[in-house]
Amino acid sequence: MKKKVLAMLLSAAMIASMLVGCGGSGATQSDSSSSDAAASEDASGETADGASDDAAASDSQAANNGETVKLTGLAILHPLTQDISEMEYVKEIEAEAGVEIEWEIIRADWDQVKSTRFASGDIPDLLFNATTNADYQTYKGLFLELTPYITEELTPNIVTMFEEEPDTKALATTLEGEIYAAPKFQGKWPDTNTVMFINQQWLDNLGLEMPTTFSELKDVLIAFKEQDANGNGDASDEVPLDFNGWFGSAYSLPGAWMGGMGIQLTNQARNGYFAEGGEVKNYAVDERYKLFMKYVADLYANGVINTNAVTNDYSMFQSLSRGNEAGDAMVGVVPGWEETDKFGPELYSQYVALPPLDYDIDCEAGTYDTRWKHDFSDLNMSANRVAVKADCANPEAAMRFIDRFYDQTHSVEVLFGGIADGNLEKTGDNSYQVLDPPAEANTDPGTWKWTSTFADNGPMYIRRASEVNMPQDMTNATNERKAYADALAKATTEDMYPDMFMKYSSEDENNMALLQANIDNVINNQWAVWMVGEQDIDSTWDAYVQSVYDAGLQEVLDIRQAAFDTYLGK
């Protein structure tokens, strides 16, 4: 098995280099959008609901009159991920549920072929990571409504998840109150996807203090540009500030710093939407965004922003942070997921988290209540992990099989890899150690996870109470985010825009899709023009805002407000 994995790693080297966020996953998530046997339990044999695995398997066989039920399954996997037939813990799950799965694996282009498959009804009994909320309306009658099968007797682990984490049930439930796919909860990921890193060694080289405000940051960036911050004798090779993308990017400047103006963003605010005091707004037309763009344009005019940031893709963004061929750090301030992932093994120790900045330009310092982007739901929950076809001959067996993925230990295996596969060790009744990848794999823990298991794309319920000793990269990610704890704690229900939990009718979904395309065309074509100084922000702002509203913003805000009010229980 290891040889096959190594071959996959070599053939997918280019793909691996583009992994981003969430421990280096870079995988897409259906409608969300994002890491973890001869026996999968210890000697005590306890499962999440208190029954032993042997008993669970025995009960399953008894329910099937001692016969193994044969089912078919389709799984959309990351390009690096090995075949499911090589995952020992999945074989254990099949045995415990009394089923045998004939797997079909798809690693690319599913979106291009699924409409044909769904329209013809050519689908297997089980569909992992293959459906979206829209599919249940578009192909009505093709998928099994799961609510009657989610019971204490048949799916005790899913029932427990819905009771202990009610947001997962809200996520899985349609506007009509139906459930067509089981979601996931992997509650060990941090509260934010974004860390703004700053090169502490550069600060030390130049005798500078850590900046705490927007104006102090500007002074630091200019010093990085002019004073040979990396100390290699070339005062012109430093890139003081870099970023990737804008609206909808985890590693954009607005995503990191609009919080300094009191705007509570979430990772779901992909088109600029946010909530404030229970009202849905869009920061692309907010006066604070105008102030923010003037600040960014000023930075650009001072030559401290990477001139290629607008056009660079993620791989180029990542590469620049890894330094030059001589091993010199090239970037002073840049957003990212985790230090070793962002800067590599040679440079990561130079960087620390830059705490949230207070906005202090064109207003009195402290006017705004500084926030930071809050992403816990988006990083830890996803809908549509596994669905069942409506005419499945044995839905009870299918649901028993699905529920075993939500067992306490199996869930950790889904994310990090199996105990019998050498990825995980169970160290106690409720504790686990994620093991380092073998030396011959020549890869990092985040990438190794994706070669070994479903990872973030799988169905799972990792309990908050479970103790998981994470790989070093996740330990780093947790420690780095301590700088944002106070700002993240300010988030309230009425200031958190929960798009992933909000439900819309098909008509509203279609209207928003059409209108948003027009809105995006306006806002996405404007910010870079302002940043590089091709247009004056003050003189063009009013016309720009009017253009965004003319494109349909108010109608979209009204639709989203109604859904948000329903979510809040108003």
Q: How confident is the model at residue 365 (pLDDT cuts 50, 70, 90)?
A: low
What the block records as the tokens of 266 is 């979430």
Beta carbons of 423 and 417 less than 8 angstroms apart? yes
Distance CA(366)–CA(213), nearest Å, equals: 10
Mean pLDDT of all residues in 360-380: 86
Which pTM value belongs to this model? Answer: 0.83
Helices (H), 40-155: 53-63, 88-97, 110-120, 133-138
Which residue shows structure tokens 């995980």? 424
Grade residue 17 by pLDDT with cuts at 50, 70 and 90: very low
pLDDT in tens, 141-197: 999 999 999 999 999 999 999 999 999 999 999 999 999 999 999 999 999 999 999
pLDDT in tens, 432-448: 999 999 888 888 787 88
CATH number for the segment(s) 2-190+378-470: 3.40.190.10
Q: Which of 51-60, 198-207, 318-327 has the lowest mean pLDDT?
A: 51-60
Long-range contacts of 290-295 (CB under 8 A, 24+ apart): 290/537, 290/541, 291/261, 291/359, 291/361, 291/362, 291/363, 292/254, 292/257, 292/258, 292/261, 293/527, 293/530, 293/531, 293/537, 294/362, 294/537, 294/538, 295/214, 295/218, 295/361
Give the pLDDT mean for 105-129. 96
Tell me how far apart the alpha carbons of residues 555 and 562 are, in angstroms, rounded to a whole number: 11
Residue 29: what pLDDT? Answer: 36
Amino acid at residue number 397: A
β-strand partners of 425: 433
**DSSP characters for 463-511?**
-TT-EEE--HHHHHHHHHGGGGHHHHTT--GGG---GGG----HHHHHH
User: Residue 2 in contact with residue 448, Cβ under 8 Å?
Assistant: no
Task: Summarize the confidence of residues 459-464 as an average pLDDT.
Answer: 97
Calpha distance 109→118 (Å, rounded): 15
How many angstroms separate the CA atoms of 275 and 119, rounded?
A: 38
CA–CA distance, 22 with 12 (Å, rounded to integer):
19
Two structure tokens written together for 109: 């282009």
User: Domain coordinates of the chain in residue numbers?
Assistant: 2-190+378-470, 195-373, 500-568
- CATH fourth-level superfamily of 195-373: Periplasmic binding protein-like II (3.40.190.10)
Residue 277: which region, alpha, beta or left (left: phi > 0; alpha: psi -120 to 50)? left
Distance CA 17, CA 185 (A): 27
